[in-house]
Amino acid sequence: MSRPWAITTPIYYVNGLPHIGHTYSTVVADTMARYHRMAGEDVYFQTGMDEHGEKAETAAAENGETPEAYTTRIARTWQTTWDKLGISYDRFIRTTEPDHKIAVQRLAQAQWDAGQIEFREYEGLYCVGCERFLTERDMEDGLCKDHETAPDPRREANYFFKMSEHFAWLADLLEKQPDFIQPARYRNEVLAMIREGSGLDDLCISRPKERLSWGIELPFDPDYVCYVWFDALINYMTGCGYPDQPGWEERWQACEHLIGKDILKPHGVYWPTILHGAGLPLPKALHVHGHWQIADRKVSKSLGNLIDPLRIAERYGFETFRYFMLREMSFGLDGSFSEAVMVERVNAHLSNALGNLLSRTLNMTERYCEGVVPEPGEMGEPEAAVRTAAATAAAEVDRHVRAYESSQALEALFRLVDATNKYVDLREPWKAVKDPERAEEVRTTLYTCCQALRSIALLLAPFVPDAAATMLERLGIAGLAEQARLPADAAAWDTLEAGTATTKGDALFPRLELVADE
């Protein structure tokens, strides 16, 4: 039986629409899910919507809608976007769904029964955008760092989770399990938060209904609803089957969270302590990526510098955008986006390097070998070098993907592309074909190129699945990605049978031209 493996994106909030930051998180998760499926694992991939809280209620009122109608409309837009972009999620979860309400109330009750929650009065500075009270660390010049707005002073009575009682346990966990939060810089950041204080204390987990009715009722006090972050974090367990589905714990403990660095505190501090306070197991790991920037500023709704993925897809094709994001951003660090740079990268990597290799291989196969994979002759050192390059690429891609290093994985893959292009230039089949005594060499060269392209296409499939599927179809092995097992099948050689019919087709990656804004 295949082992379980699960991945979650953040659940995105309903007061806005998808932009490049959301798209990057979702594409990385999709790439990971596709790779692990091709590795033969039992994959579960979840994304979805965070629909409760003050911002949602306010946005609904501003649009003249009920919260139910507003959140349903926005959730459909998000789900439709991911569907149009070919995201291979297994569940699109909404925090308004009945099974999530059950999960939230069960976990809240578990904490209440364990004496982890108490009622008290609190006063502080509240950011509506963050939907939480801020500390000095969260502000700069009196403004919220994330939203660049001044928080409101508030005083009210609420329920609090005794989070501070779990800080020593969390610090010990992060020392003993350093890979729980990756990359290491973010583990160190969480350790600094809890060791230096950083304004962290107990966590307010409720809002009074007299101020906010749009939320899940606390099971032990119907006059209060859950704080949106307490509610939202539990979605990950809901999707894995908590509290009652058979086998939920096995899937849950194989679950890896993927988030942006702006929500490190809730996921790195609140979430593990909430679970510990309820006596529940932790997920496998938390992976934290950086932000996309335009003109040195973070992309965000509040700053008004969004990049619409559907607009970019319409202009350039989504897979080129997908490739650029995965190749350009080194996971954990910030990345910079511009359409001009994307066009340059795509033309250099996909059009010139990979597209040209596929095109000239299949064109020559049609011209010199009647359009079928030829029977090779004796393999020499140049052919052995390409074969070794394929095995090396398969191993390196596997290692980097499992470490969430998509940029390095693609670099390793394109070393195989470059090695194969250099091999073609070395063998010069367009010259060799003119000498009848070198006919076997031509067949060997094109056979080697076709085998390399098979390996490239399989390794490329999790990153740009449509393009990889087209490559395999043109090589006469359509559907192979659904049957193959990575990394072994990408490293395997002599598996593309001689005599297999190929199709040269049009340019796989036509050169892009920068589209001017109207």
- Residue 127's pLDDT band (boundaries 50, 70, 90)? confident
Residues acting as catalytic residues: 19, 22, 127, 130, 144, 147, 298, 301
Q: Evaluate whether 4-328 and 338-491 have a shared fold.
A: no
Structure confidence by residue, pLDDT tens digits, 161-199 = 999 999 999 999 999 999 999 999 999 999 999 988 666
Which amino acid would we find at residue 380? G
473: phi then psi, degrees, rounded to nearest 5: -65, -45
Q: What is the DSSP string of 443-478?
A: HHHHHHHHHHHHHHHHHHTTTSHHHHHHHHHHTT-T
- Residue 156's pLDDT band (boundaries 50, 70, 90)? confident
Average pLDDT over every residue of 246-268: 96
Q: Residue 320: name the closest of 355, 268, 270 by CA.
A: 355
Quote the pLDDT of residue 198: 62
Average pLDDT over every residue of 141-154: 86
Average pLDDT over every residue of 417-443: 96
CA angle, residues 161, 265, 164, in degrees to nearest 5: 35
Quote the pLDDT of residue 360: 97
Quote the pLDDT of residue 63: 94
Q: Is residue 318 within a helix (H) or strand (E), and if so which, with residue range?
A: helix 318-328
Quote the pLDDT of residue 295: 64
β 285-289/181-182 pair status: parallel
Quote the pLDDT of residue 134: 81
Quote the pLDDT of residue 16: 86
Question: What sign does the CA torsion over 461, 334, 190, 104 have?
Answer: negative
Average pLDDT over every residue of 196-214: 87
Q: Where are the strands (E) in 262-410, listed by range? A: 285-289, 292-294, 297-298, 335-336
What is the overall mean pLDDT for the chain?
94
132 has pLDDT over 80: no
- The percentage of the chain sitting over the pLDDT mark of 90, rounded to a whole number, equals 87
User: Does the domain formed by 338-491 have CATH 1.10.730.10?
Assistant: yes
Average pLDDT over every residue of 38-47: 98
Structure confidence by residue, pLDDT tens digits, 446-469 = 999 999 999 999 999 999 999 999
160 has pLDDT over 50: yes
Quote the pLDDT of residue 129: 77
Quote the pLDDT of residue 294: 83
Average pLDDT over every residue of 390-395: 98
Q: What is the DSSP string of 135-148?
A: -GGGEETTEETTT-
User: Does the domain formed by 4-328 have CATH 3.60.15.10?
Assistant: no
122 has pLDDT over 90: no
Count CB-CB contacts under 10 A for residue 347: 18
| β-sheet bridge partners, residue 173 | none
Quote the pLDDT of residue 305: 45
Q: Are 496 and 451 in contact (CB under 8 A)?
A: yes
303 has pLDDT over 50: no
> For the chain, which residues make up each domain, given as ranges?
4-328, 338-491
Count CB-CB contacts under 10 A for residue 295: 8
